[in-house]
Chain A
Amino acid sequence: MALAMLAALFAVTTWIDTGPAPGATPTFIAGLVLLLGHIAGHAIAAIGLPRISGYLAAGLLLGPDLLGVISTPVAGQLHFLNELAVAFIALAAGAELHVAQLRARLGLIGWLVVSTTLVTCLSVGLIVFVAGPALLPFAAGLTTVQMAAVAALIGVVAVARSPSSALAVIRECDAHGPFSETVLGVTVAIDVVTIVLFAIALSTCQALLSPNGALDLGFALMVLVEIAAGIVSGAAIGMILSFYIRRWPDNIALLLLGTALVVTEIAHGTARYVQDTHELPLHLEPLLICVAAGFVVRNVGSSGAAFSEAVERVSLPVFVLFFTLAGASLDLQALRRTWVAALTLVAARSSSILAASWAGAAIAGDQSSGRRLFGFTFLTQAGISVGLALEVVRRFPEWGEEFATIVVAAISVNQVVGPVAMKYALQRVGEAKRT
């Protein structure tokens, strides 16, 4: 009944057009996204799948490829909300990382990060390089060096995970325990590693492919500076938040909204300023800043518990908005055109992650029941991977578009499959209190 009424309401907007007030359409669509996402999440959960799959499905349905409710212009208008959601989710992810509990598992986390990074990057890269034009039609005209560059970049993108998906599934299942904490720790760490690795790969590839063959060390250095600056500014923001919450522990939700806005402004504002004054492409990553901020609030001072509680209370609407919009951005056209290559990449990535995780846990001497299940939790992929693909488009316009099409198609599949696999793992391990 609720669905029918919402559909009728939407029909009214398409029938009547009297020149709406500014902001009316994105406001209405945002509300529709929240309500339909909620309904879809419940419906999907009834058949045992994670709610995040329902949000993605709702977004897909509303997206430009199907119903077209969230058209490309509307998605552009809602992009601001999306950025806020990313910042907020990153705050939540940082708040989940408790030093005292992570310390005991640092070795395991370290080995998992190293093994999955190396094995995934190398395996996927090798498969792409060997398969060549058979897998990637656009590679038909590329030289061996160019092919190696493409393979390296795809290998690095394959390493990237989705902390937001991981957090969403953990929250939905109300999962607590060493397994969940390890998963989140690894996922967040891999995001940082991916950024560094991608910068190195991109610089190297550009050097290999440019006429003078010069290695752009400046770019790699810039990335390191970006990461350091992001962590430092995140820590500073975390200290301020911690102080504020200790003094005035009410209205934390509004404070979090303000923080997300400030972080977004710092990231973009700094980039603009440095570009204008020094002509340097410095880009602070809001995700990194917020993870650092959330981490500091959680682990420094006495505000951690209040902060975590407030974040948890308001995180559901943010997740629904974020993942429904993510679903709307899934490129079905790309998947239709490149499904063979995309599914091959998905298969290669998944098997290497599963194998690498098992190996990493074994090397770390982990004897827990979850040691064979870590890989299932690392399959998710989302926003940051797409961002990396778009960077490739910018740097290598000759073949970048086709590269991005295949990669984004693979990411889309991982985005759908990953949460299902993760929920399975959490339930098998026994840490999921809510199924």
Chain B
Amino acid sequence: MKLVLAAALVTALALAGSRFSFLHLPLAGVRGSLWVRNILLTGTEFIFIGLLLGSPFLGILDDMTLVGLAPILGMGLSWIGLLFGIQWQVRRWDGVVRSGLLPALVQAGVVAVIITVPFYFLLRWSLDLSHAWCLVGALTLGAAGSDTAQSALALVGRSARGEGRALARLLRLVADLDGLVAVVVFGAVCWLPVLHGDTGSVGLWAALSVGLGVVMGLVVVALTSYQLAEEELLLVLLGTVFSGGGLALYLSLSPLFVNAVTGAVVANLSQERVLRSLQSLLVRGDRSVYVLFLLLAGAQWHPSGWSVLLLAGAYLMLRTTGKLAGNWLAFRGVVAPAVRGHMGLGLLSHGGLAIAVVVNLQQIHDGGSPVVDAVTTIVLVGVIVSELFSPALVWRVLGGARPMPSS
């Protein structure tokens, strides 16, 4: 029963990770380079733990075991998708959020394009893939790259003072909103017929994807329209997560996207009290699921040759360029030119949805395929390198304001 042992191990690590990672450490020393401590502050070390447990090394989380753990992964993707979507309660948005939406999406869109287009050709040239698979790989990288992880900004931003504080709030807002591009773009990747055995059309899979999300959302709204106790809400939530995620995987669609649509429907149609309870329940699983993703992404990582590392380098450069260009373009007239020029450096933190996107791709298309291996390597290397430097870069962008006294 290796599967049971693996599940127990993964659960224990997720528990430990959610408990001991992402510690709100006193940041009195935050100035330049935290380096390895940055990794430990954001849970990125679990990628390495996963890699250690995977096939190339200890083999505890080998390919067959990972197939057995697939339902857990499916559930995790659905959970995150639902959590993401349920935050888009448009009627609660104030003017600040509404005004930040378009620039955030524009900057993320620019990043996505700047990564996707060159990578289409890079993948074609380096891995000799077909047009369809190049498109899958390039769009996935574009989706992953467009997102900004929220953790580094949250960790460093709170220490900012003066003007840096306002900029920190703006950067956090952008990081909160640009995930939409990642989710939608990757959702669109799953509409490509090549992922469905070349059956159907993009339109059909798009309609199914959105339709499934909407129907699940309406089911949740219907079931929660009665007075339900918290344990019943948990029951409905788990039922939604399992069925929506399972059905999405069954149709080789993105559970992340489908459940994000579900979440958005629930956010905008549910009663306020119910919505708050659902949000509270979902947030409780935030860290555990992320640690699970990091572990399993690492376990399914088959580092394949040095050439892919060059691609990872290209990815980092393109992402950085995209962030700088995207923010410069998006915040014209909103932010002072002096700030706008280097604002993108404060949005290089990488993780969160990028990892979720990679895991989603691994789920719907068997590992061992060149495009999945390449994308996994590129994104994971990107995450690791970004997390080494991003807190320091955020600090610089915020003006290196004086830190809070340590408590």
**Are any A and B Cβ atoms less than 8 Å apart in their complex?**
yes
CB 8 Å contact bits of A206-245 with B (1 = contact, 0 = none): 0000000000000000000000000000000000000000
Report whether B246 and A9 are in contact in the complex, using a CB–CB cutoff of 8 Å: no
Report whether A21 and B215 are in contact in the complex, using a CB–CB cutoff of 8 Å: no
Segment among B67-75, B87-95, B119-127, B315-323 that sits at the interface with chain A: B67-75
Asked if A386 is at the interface (CB within 8 A of a chain B CB), the reply is no
Asked if A100 is at the interface (CB within 8 A of a chain B CB), the reply is no
Segment among A137-145, A188-196, A315-323 that sits at the interface with chain B: A315-323
Report whether A313 and B246 are in contact in the complex, using a CB–CB cutoff of 8 Å: no
Report whether A5 and B363 are in contact in the complex, using a CB–CB cutoff of 8 Å: no
Asked if B196 is at the interface (CB within 8 A of a chain A CB), the reply is yes
Interface of A is mostly: helix
Report whether B234 and A317 are in contact in the complex, using a CB–CB cutoff of 8 Å: yes
Output the nearest chain B residue to A17 by Cβ-Cβ distance.
Answer: B250
Asked if A254 is at the interface (CB within 8 A of a chain B CB), the reply is yes
Instruction: Identify A21's interface contact among B69, B75, B240, B250, CB under 8 A.
Output: B250
Report whether A20 and B249 are in contact in the complex, using a CB–CB cutoff of 8 Å: yes
Contacts of B11 in A (CB 8 A): 254, 257-258, 261
Rounded to whole angstroms, the CA-CA distance of A261 and B4 in the bound complex is 6
Asked if B404 is at the interface (CB within 8 A of a chain A CB), the reply is no
Rounded to whole angstroms, the CA-CA distance of A315 and B232 in the bound complex is 10
Segment among A27-35, A299-307, A338-346, A388-396 that sits at the interface with chain B: A27-35
Report whether B240 and A35 are in contact in the complex, using a CB–CB cutoff of 8 Å: yes
CB 8 Å contact bits of A21-62 with B (1 = contact, 0 = none): 111111111111111001100100000000000000000000
Rounded to whole angstroms, the CA-CA distance of A12 and B242 in the bound complex is 16
Report whether A2 and B252 are in contact in the complex, using a CB–CB cutoff of 8 Å: no
Rounded to whole angstroms, the CA-CA distance of A84 and B251 in the bound complex is 27
Asked if B245 is at the interface (CB within 8 A of a chain A CB), the reply is yes
Interface centre among A24, A33, A316 (most CB of B within 10 A): A24
Report whether A27 and B246 are in contact in the complex, using a CB–CB cutoff of 8 Å: yes
Q: A23-B74, A38-B232 are in contact. Are A317 and B238 (CB under 8 A)?
A: yes
Residue tally, chain A, CB below 8 Å to B: 52
Q: A24-B250, A27-B245 are in contact. Are A34 and B238 (CB under 8 A)?
A: yes
Q: A5-B215, A18-B252, A316-B232 are in contact. Are A24 and B4 (CB under 8 A)?
A: no
Rounded to whole angstroms, the CA-CA distance of A28 and B238 in the bound complex is 11
Contacts of B105 in A (CB 8 A): none
Contacts of A20 in B (CB 8 A): 249-252
Report whether A13 and B250 are in contact in the complex, using a CB–CB cutoff of 8 Å: yes
Output the nearest chain A residue to B73 by Cβ-Cβ distance.
Answer: A23
CB 8 Å contact bits of A243-282 with B (1 = contact, 0 = none): 0000010110011011001101100110010000000000
What is the CB-to-nearest-CB distance from B394 to chain A, in angstroms, rounded to a whole number? Answer: 28
Contacts of B222 in A (CB 8 A): 1-2, 5
What is the CB-to-nearest-CB distance from A356 to chain B, in angstroms, rounded to a whole number? Answer: 35
Rounded to whole angstroms, the CA-CA distance of A28 and B8 in the bound complex is 22
Asked if B310 is at the interface (CB within 8 A of a chain A CB), the reply is no
Rounded to whole angstroms, the CA-CA distance of A272 and B2 in the bound complex is 12
Rounded to whole angstroms, the CA-CA distance of A8 and B69 in the bound complex is 28
Report whether A264 and B247 are in contact in the complex, using a CB–CB cutoff of 8 Å: no
Asked if B223 is at the interface (CB within 8 A of a chain A CB), the reply is yes
CB 8 Å contact bits of A282-318 with B (1 = contact, 0 = none): 0000000000000000000000000000001111110
Asked if B5 is at the interface (CB within 8 A of a chain A CB), the reply is yes
Rounded to whole angstroms, the CA-CA distance of A320 and B69 in the bound complex is 22
Residue tally, chain B, CB below 8 Å to A: 57
Output the nearest chain A residue to B195 by Cβ-Cβ distance.
Answer: A18
Contacts of B236 in A (CB 8 A): 34-35, 38
Contacts of B215 in A (CB 8 A): 5, 8-9
8 Å CB contacts to A: which residues of B226-268?
Answer: 226, 230-232, 234-236, 238-247, 249-252
Rounded to whole angstroms, the CA-CA distance of A18 and B197 in the bound complex is 7
Report whether A5 and B219 are in contact in the complex, using a CB–CB cutoff of 8 Å: yes
Report whether B243 and A9 are in contact in the complex, using a CB–CB cutoff of 8 Å: yes
Segment among B13-21, B39-47, B129-137 that sits at the interface with chain A: B13-21
Asked if A6 is at the interface (CB within 8 A of a chain B CB), the reply is yes
8 Å CB contacts to A: which residues of B349-385?
Answer: 363-364
Q: A35-B239, A314-B234 are in contact. Are A258 and B196 (CB under 8 A)?
A: no
Contacts of B69 in A (CB 8 A): 23
Rounded to whole angstroms, the CA-CA distance of A268 and B2 in the bound complex is 11
Q: A5-B215, A315-B231 are in contact. Are A25 and B250 (CB under 8 A)?
A: yes
Asked if B212 is at the interface (CB within 8 A of a chain A CB), the reply is yes
Contacts of B73 in A (CB 8 A): 23
Report whether A31 and B242 are in contact in the complex, using a CB–CB cutoff of 8 Å: yes
Report whether A27 and B252 are in contact in the complex, using a CB–CB cutoff of 8 Å: no
What is the CB-to-nearest-CB distance from A27 to chain B, in angstroms, rounded to a whole number? Answer: 3
Report whether B5 and A251 are in contact in the complex, using a CB–CB cutoff of 8 Å: no
Report whether B231 and A27 are in contact in the complex, using a CB–CB cutoff of 8 Å: no
Rounded to whole angstroms, the CA-CA distance of A18 and B248 in the bound complex is 12
What is the CB-to-nearest-CB distance from B275 to chain A, in angstroms, rounded to a whole number? Answer: 18
Report whether B218 and A5 are in contact in the complex, using a CB–CB cutoff of 8 Å: yes
Report whether B196 and A18 are in contact in the complex, using a CB–CB cutoff of 8 Å: yes
Rounded to whole angstroms, the CA-CA distance of A34 and B242 in the bound complex is 9
Rounded to whole angstroms, the CA-CA distance of A228 and B3 in the bound complex is 27
Rounded to whole angstroms, the CA-CA distance of A369 and B336 in the bound complex is 80
List 11 other contacts, CB 8 Å, given A6-B243, A28-B246, A320-B235: A1-B218, A2-B222, A18-B252, A23-B246, A27-B71, A31-B240, A38-B232, A39-B223, A254-B15, A265-B4, A265-B8
Query: Can you list 5 A-B pairs, Cβ within 8 angstroms, ordered by A?
Result: A25-B246, A27-B249, A30-B243, A31-B240, A251-B284
Q: What 8 A-B pairs are tightest by C-beta distance, nearest first?
A: A31-B243, A28-B246, A31-B242, A23-B70, A27-B246, A34-B239, A24-B249, A35-B239
List the interface of chain B (C-beta within 8 A of A): 1, 3-5, 7-8, 11-12, 14-15, 18-19, 67-71, 73-75, 196-197, 199-200, 208, 212, 215-216, 218-219, 222-223, 226, 230-232, 234-236, 238-247, 249-252, 284, 288, 363-364
List the interface of chain A (C-beta within 8 A of B): 1-2, 5-6, 8-9, 12-13, 16, 18-35, 38-39, 42, 80, 248, 250-251, 254-255, 257-258, 261-262, 264-265, 268-269, 272, 312-317, 320
